[in-house]
A and B are shown apart, each in its own frame.
Chain A
Amino acid sequence: MFDFGIITGWIHTQLTSVMSEQLAIFLECVIVGILLLLVYVIVAIIMIYMERKVCAAFQCRLGPTRVGPWGSLQVFCDVFKMLTKEIITVRHSDKFLYNLAPFIVILASVMAFACIPMSRGLEILDFNVGVFFFMAASSIGIVGILLAGWSSNSKFSLIGAMRSGAQMISYELSVGLSILTIVVLTDTMQFSEIVMRQEDGWFIFKGHIPAVISFIIYLIAANAEVNRGPFDLPEAESELTAGYHTEYSGMHFGLFYVAEFVNLFIVSSIAATIFLGGWMPLHIPGLDGFNAVMDWIPGFVWYFAKAFFVVWLLMWIKWTFPRLRIDQILTLEWKYLVPIGLANLLLMVIVVVFKLHF
């Protein structure tokens, strides 16, 4: 298993040998920042292209084909088109909050994105309360959405933002409970540590029944958390035009769009990290030859493969199911997912206390 800590450690020693400690740390921070921005943008571009292609495949269409081979340059053209569109502000809107909202939405998604370990030694924010920090960071996004809807002085935006707020805070409970189930199993909240504990089997196998239930609850709740799939009524096109970002145009809209897709990637990679082993290859205890072969595949390939597999699963759900009503969404959360999540948590505690897990 290749350890990226060797590369970062080598860069650190090289830098400290030619300059002072503070300057080296400053330079490393700049490098980390640029790389993070690059990966964020690349992930957003891949996600948008993938969404269009997967959607087309499910509807028996071809999707973008004209620009570049298989339409792969279409997203770049869209970015340039967004950049050359006028940014319109509604006349009686609250200008300060209206301009602040995209900042908050992007801030939340970048902070959550930086929490995820991508390979061995490739963690950016690796707190010992990492899971907790991730949930706190990602829930800031709700504030941005509520501000966007409230400040733009449009009734569609207001209704969209309120629906979105009610839905996102409700489903955050289920996301929290299903992550909590895994924290009970691991007794750590640090993401890198959670991945290391899955060396002898991913948690979805080690935790058997309660882990599978919480994985399913997590997928449903995470899909609602990012306002997609059958839960996309905050921006239901046929009733609210675009929901909370109706009044945003040009690049302002583009930022909301990017944040939405990267949020989908973030929740998928959290599912991949805490249930499917993150960058940890598939290991079966006892089969040393098989494990050695699996270790030849680099960690980040495993990580991205799992994350995009979950993304594909969520896209499949999105393009298959019809949209729910607001009362159905709240009923599903409060009358089904929360009680099942609590019962599942107790089941997991019993499994852990009586050592029934693998």
Chain B
Amino acid sequence: MNFILLIVVILIAVIMVAAAVGIAKAIAPRSYNPQKGEPYECGIPTRGKSWMQFKVGYYLFAILFLMFDVETVFLFAWAVVVQDLGIYGLVSVLFFLLVLILGLAYAWRKGALEWK
């Protein structure tokens, strides 16, 4: 039942967007002007391509995020059973977290968290 509802929810989202855009396309006025197709840059004609190289700093944070997000996936599985595991669960995850915190400390020390 849950998965049928999930499909229904996805369909609702798609129908909603399609209907809104469809109605707008049907009733909105249309006019052609070559200036309308230009990318907006405060009135100045744009120069060069917009798909260009950008700052590598974003990539560093994406890598860091990947490391911690995978960690969160493991921690969720552990968090559900930690009350049954007791002190054993606490100590075992302490080592896991220690390795991660060392990783964060290393990135910090290397200056990966600075925005340059």
Set of chain A residues within 8 Å of B23, measured between Cβ atoms: 83, 251
Q: Name B1-30 residues within 8 Å CB distance of A.
A: 1-2, 4-6, 8-18, 20-21, 23-25, 27-30
Set of chain B residues within 8 Å of A291, measured between Cβ atoms: none
Which candidate, A84-92, A226-234, A282-290, is the interface stretch facing chain B?
A84-92
Q: Are B76 and A162 in contact (CB under 8 A)?
A: no
Set of chain A residues within 8 Å of B106, measured between Cβ atoms: none
Q: What is the distance, in angstroms, from B116's C-beta to the closest C-beta of chain A?
A: 9
User: A111-B9, A154-B39, A331-B115 are contacts. A83–B28 as well, Cβ < 8 Å?
Assistant: yes
Set of chain B residues within 8 Å of A153, measured between Cβ atoms: 39, 49-51
Q: What is the distance, in angstroms, from A143's C-beta to the closest C-beta of chain B?
A: 13
8 Å CB contact of A187 from B41, B54, B83, B90:
B83
- Interface size in chain B (residues, C-beta < 8 A): 71
Q: Are A166 and B76 in contact (CB under 8 A)?
A: no
Question: What separation, in Å, do the CA atoms of A110 and B20 have in the docked complex?
Answer: 15
Q: Chain A: interface secondary structure?
A: helix
Q: Are B115 and A102 in contact (CB under 8 A)?
A: no
Set of chain A residues within 8 Å of B113, measured between Cβ atoms: 330-331, 334-335
Q: A169 interface residue, CB < 8 Å from B?
A: yes
Set of chain B residues within 8 Å of A88, measured between Cβ atoms: 36-37
Q: Are B9 and A183 in contact (CB under 8 A)?
A: no
Interface contacts (Cβ under 8 Å), in number, total 205
Q: A322 interface residue, CB < 8 Å from B?
A: no
Q: What is the distance, in angstroms, from B69's C-beta to the closest C-beta of chain A?
A: 7
- Interface size in chain A (residues, C-beta < 8 A): 81
Q: A170 interface residue, CB < 8 Å from B?
A: yes
Q: B45 interface residue, CB < 8 Å from A?
A: no
Q: Are B54 and A255 in contact (CB under 8 A)?
A: no
8 Å CB contact of B20 from A92, A124, A254:
A254
Q: B110 interface residue, CB < 8 Å from A?
A: no
Set of chain B residues within 8 Å of A150, measured between Cβ atoms: 51
Set of chain B residues within 8 Å of A30, measured between Cβ atoms: 8
Set of chain A residues within 8 Å of B83, measured between Cβ atoms: 187, 352-353
Question: A235-257 interface mask toward B, CB cutoff 8 Å, 1 = contact, 0 = none?
Answer: 00000010000110011101100
**B contact set with A: CB distance below 8 Å:** 1-2, 4-6, 8-18, 20-21, 23-25, 27-31, 36-42, 46, 49-52, 54-55, 57-58, 61-62, 64-65, 68-69, 72, 75-76, 79-84, 86-87, 89-90, 93-94, 97, 100-101, 104, 108, 113-115
**A contact set with B: CB distance below 8 Å:** 25, 29-30, 32-33, 36-37, 40, 82-92, 99, 102-103, 106-107, 109-111, 114, 124-127, 131-132, 150, 152-159, 162, 165-166, 169-170, 172-173, 176-177, 180, 183-184, 187-189, 241, 246-247, 250-252, 254-255, 326-327, 330-331, 334-335, 338-339, 342, 345-346, 349-350, 352-353
Query: Which 5 pairs, one residue from A and one from B, show the smallest C-beta to C-beta distance?
Result: A91-B37, A327-B115, A251-B24, A154-B39, A110-B13
15 residue pairs from A and B, CB less than 8 Å apart: A33-B12, A36-B12, A40-B16, A88-B36, A114-B9, A153-B50, A165-B62, A169-B65, A170-B61, A241-B42, A250-B28, A255-B21, A334-B104, A346-B94, A353-B83
